[in-house]
């Protein structure tokens, strides 16, 4: 693939900054860099622009350094919360990537940060707090706290002393069950209890009539013992 040499007029990540002379694919320069004004061909006339391009680059880098230094001071005090879905065992569905963190920084704090500046050794796959390194500038680094929380409701049953299942707060859920009061028949005055069952009422003993003589016990002579029955 043929190459061509150009002079960059703007900073292009991964390629170079203003005033850099680089070699790129001829098609890339012809179809994108040159039409967009991001580079110019290497000519004697364009070489005279190198000094102004270097000055522009120095100003841009100084501004970026100051901006990222201020951002680093503030971002270390923040905690970025990322909410994820988890299974019943607490494991995360998927993972938290640098792109996810960049989106949450924009959503929560209105901080626009290129995800390439968020350095992750590997995607986050566990809940809790994590410290993430931010490479904001070639000379500026910072640490961001990221807290991963679950949006899935976890219900953990607890066992009471008698094997009863408790509620989520850990207490045993008990229920008092009493006998339901029997419905009172219509027309019956309240307070009287009707006899239960089909047992017949016991007959009342007959009252003795007045004047009826009582059977007198036989009296023996004083000092005599009653005879025993033979």
The string of pLDDT tens digits covering residues 104-124 is: 999 999 999 999 999 998 999
DSSP state of 142: E
> What architecture (CATH level 2) is domain 72-150?
Roll (3.10)
Digit-coded pLDDT (tens) for 126-143 = 999 999 999 998 899 999
Q: What is the pLDDT of residue 152?
A: 81
Q: What is the pLDDT of residue 204?
A: 54
Whole-prediction pTM: 0.56
- Write the CA distances from 54 to 11, 14, 138, 160, 200, integer angstroms: 11, 18, 18, 76, 120
Q: Give mean pLDDT, residues 185-205.
A: 49
Q: What is the pLDDT of residue 202?
A: 55
The domain segmentation of the chain, as residue ranges, is: 3-48, 72-150
Q: What is the pLDDT of residue 185?
A: 54
CATH node for 3-48: 3.40.5.10
Distance CA 185, CA 92 (A): 63
What is the share, in percent, of the chain residues with pLDDT greater than 90?
Answer: 54
């Amino acid at each position: 693939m043929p190459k061509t040499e150009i002079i960059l007029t703007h900073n292009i990540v991964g390629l170079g900054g203003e005033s850099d002379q680089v070699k790129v694919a001829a098609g890339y320069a012809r179809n994108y860099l040159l039409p967009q004004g991001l580079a110019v061909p290497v000519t004697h006339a364009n070489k005279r622009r190198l000094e102004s391009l270097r000055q522009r680059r120095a100003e841009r880098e100084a501004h970026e350094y100051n901006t990222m230094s201020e951002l680093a001071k503030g971002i270390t005090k923040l905690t970025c919360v990322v909410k994820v879905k988890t299974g019943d065992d607490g494991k995360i569905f998927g993972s938290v990537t640098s792109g996810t963190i960049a989106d949450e920084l924009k959503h929560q704090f209105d901080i626009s940060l290129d995800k390439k500046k968020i350095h992750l050794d590997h995607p986050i796959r566990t809940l809790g707090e994590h410290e993430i390194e931010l490479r904001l500038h070639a000379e500026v680094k910072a640490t961001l706290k990221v807290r991963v929380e679950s949006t899935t409701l976890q219900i953990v049953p607890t066992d009471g002393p008698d094997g009863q299942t408790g509620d989520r707060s850990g207490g045993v859920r008990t229920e008092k069950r009493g006998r339901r009061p029997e419905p009172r028949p219509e027309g019956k005055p309240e307070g009287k209890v009707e006899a239960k069952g089909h047992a017949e009422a016991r007959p009342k003993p007959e009252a003795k009539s007045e004047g009826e003589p009582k059977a007198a016990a036989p009296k023996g002579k004083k000092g005599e013992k009653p005879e025993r029955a033979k």
